[in-house]
Amino acid sequence: MKKYDAIAVIDFGGQYAHLIANKVRRLSVLAEIKQPEDSVEELAGYKGIILSGSPALTSQGDEPGLNRAILGVDVPILGLCFGHQEIAHHYGGEIAFHGREWGHANFHKSVDHPLFEGLNPVEQVWMSHNDSVVKVGEGFEEFGYTTLEEGGKKHGYAAIGSDIHKRYGVQFHPEVDDTPNGDVLISNFVKKICGCEPSWTMSSYLAGQVDRIREQVGEGSVFLLASGGVDSTVAAKLFAKAIGNERLHLLHIDNGLMRKDESKNVVEMYKALGLDTNFHFYDATEDFLTALGDEISPEEKRKIIGNTFVEVFDKKARELGIEDHLLGQGTIYPDTIETGATKRSDTIKTHHNRVPVIDELIKQGKVIEPLADLYKVEVRELGEMLGIEKKAVWRHPFPGPGLGVRLLCSDGAAVDDLAEATAHSNKVASEYGLTALALPVKSVGVKADLRTYEHPVILNGETTFEKLQETAGRIFKEVPGINRCIWNLNDVAVTEAVPLAATMTKARLDMLREADALVMNGLRKHGLYDSIWQCPTVFIPLMINGVGSELCVVRPIHSERAMTATAASLPAELVLELREHVMNIQGVCGLALDLTSKPPGTIEWE
């Protein structure tokens, strides 16, 4: 028997499988990730099962690899999105392809049931799917339906259930923060339907990780690439607690892709944290810029940065005489799920700590990642438990590849014919008194658990932030090939955008560093830094209306776990300040605010 009441989360490769587990753990109930092909014996002791979403399509005959015997286990089962469809299909229902649907919808309860206890008759929910349940089998009934707006067209069977079979499903994603009361539904399933008692806490997780680190490291040492970000800093403190400072070597590499004065600040922070016993610093700017060369592909840039990190690490490790070490990383779960590291997940983007050479080291047992099952909010909680000051724990996330994924590169070649996308976007925008232009660049996105590489649209004109978001939402739903929407912050409308040839150079990086510093300082000045989860500043090599060479995009977002995000607005005073100062950087020809939620756009542009 398990020490704690526990829920098994069956991972079909959706973006949110571990987020489901995280949400259950926030209820102080242990949740563990299991695979669809696991045996029934491996599910013994769990008090309930949750089936995750997936990029697979039941309507197209995609085989999820599910051991069907799992659906016969005598415990309650809840299916989310694809899992909901699998339950309906298994018990005699029908699934049909109705086209992609993502974003907010209104869920209407059709019945009173313990699963919905404490929920309003109509709740805002988050959708991200292609297939839909159109019929249920014997013993099941419709628990609720959705509409995209009040009084709109019904989307039937958005929730189904059978108390006879103890099987339940919802088409939407209650595990994401964009379903505001999704936690209530998950709690109802875990505690009321499955009968789990809260007994698992972060303190128990901390104790378990300390034991695991000591077991894996043995008498050896850990060499950690310490960027100074939240994840690597918490990992460093955790390693120090487990094995002591003498056996922990920290290497901070300035890869030339960092923020203004970042390395200087990192060195001072680690000293203040008492982590400077074996702290090493190396300026590898030339190594990285030389390796990146003229590369423009986002995926290839990430791989080059990741491989160069390992090359520099090996070089410095040899110089420092460290032979028998484990490579420590502050990897958290979004890094691995977006890389397609689970068996069925679609690769959204390759993270620098999940390139092939790292994967090979993992197979050899030479990598140790104590935070790999945690999300940012849990890492921060763990950091506070380890005594790291709030200022360090709650700083904005910064990607491992740094500004390398915020400085877009291009060969300047002409791209797809965007006339139709522009015309279609303009048709939508005109209803809100705006104009639109599809831009001749691409960025990474995610739709229905699948990676996209599509164009952004820039909106011109004045309206409320709510109307801008509504416009963007409609464009995402109605215009093919668009996964990002930005709003022109200048007075002059953007009517022409021409791609320019540009690579990763120190001069461009220095320009971006200045713009980024202006944005960060502006957020602090206006008291917004703590309320905004992250705010990338992005440079795109475009000539706007025949002028300049860089379009600057500011992307403030609200999130908790990075798996979903919503765009944040900026006060008019800050916009005016940024327009004045950022536009004074030589070469900057435009300033825009990113309006994109995640999905359909990832937080970073690359």
Catalytic residues: 81, 173, 175
Residue 571's SS3 state is coil
Q: CA-to-CA distance for 484 and 476, rounded, in angstroms?
A: 8
Using alpha carbons, list the distances in angstroms from residue 361 to 97, 336, 373, 385.
41, 15, 19, 30
Collect all residues with Cβ–Cβ distance below 8 Å to 357 and sequence separation of at least 6: 306, 307, 310
Strand order in the sheet with 6-10: 30-34, 6-10, 48-51, 77-80, 167-170, 155-162, 141-147, 94-109, 122-135
Residue 5's SS3 state is coil
Q: CA-to-CA distance for 479 and 453, rounded, in angstroms?
A: 14
Residue 229's SS3 state is coil
Phi (first) and psi of residue 587, to 5 degrees: 100, -20
Phi (first) and psi of residue 445, to 5 degrees: -145, 180
Using alpha carbons, list the distances in angstroms from residue 399 to 93, 378, 469.
43, 17, 26
Q: 467 burial class (0-12, 13-18, 19+ CB within 10 angstroms)?
A: middle
CA angle, 126 then 129 then 131, to 5°: 135
Residue 77's SS3 state is strand
CA 409 to chain CA centroid, Å, is 22
Helices then strands, counting H and E runs in the chain, come out as: 16, 27
Residue carrying the six token digits 């300026």: 283
Using alpha carbons, list the distances in angstroms from residue 422 to 1, 192, 475, 487, 593.
60, 50, 10, 15, 19
Residue 436's SS3 state is strand
Neighbouring C-beta atoms of residue 198, cutoff 10 Å: 14
Count how many residues are written for the chain.
606
Collect all residues with Cβ–Cβ distance below 8 Å to 235 and sequence separation of at least 6: 224, 328, 329, 330, 369, 370, 371
Q: CA-to-CA distance for 349 and 347, rounded, in angstroms?
A: 6
Give me the DSSP letters along 543-591. EETTB-SEEEEE--EE-SSSSSBEE----HHHHHHHHHHHTTSTTEEEE
Collect all residues with Cβ–Cβ distance below 8 Å to 19 and sequence separation of at least 6: 175, 176, 375, 561, 563
Residue carrying the six token digits 């996330």: 397
Q: CA-to-CA distance for 180 and 186, rounded, in angstroms?
A: 12
Q: CA-to-CA distance for 479 and 518, rounded, in angstroms?
A: 34
* DSSP summary character for residue 364: T
Report residue 41 as tokens: 């014996």
Strands 450-460 and 497-499: unpaired
Report residue 586 as tokens: 């030589």
Report residue 325 as tokens: 């070490």
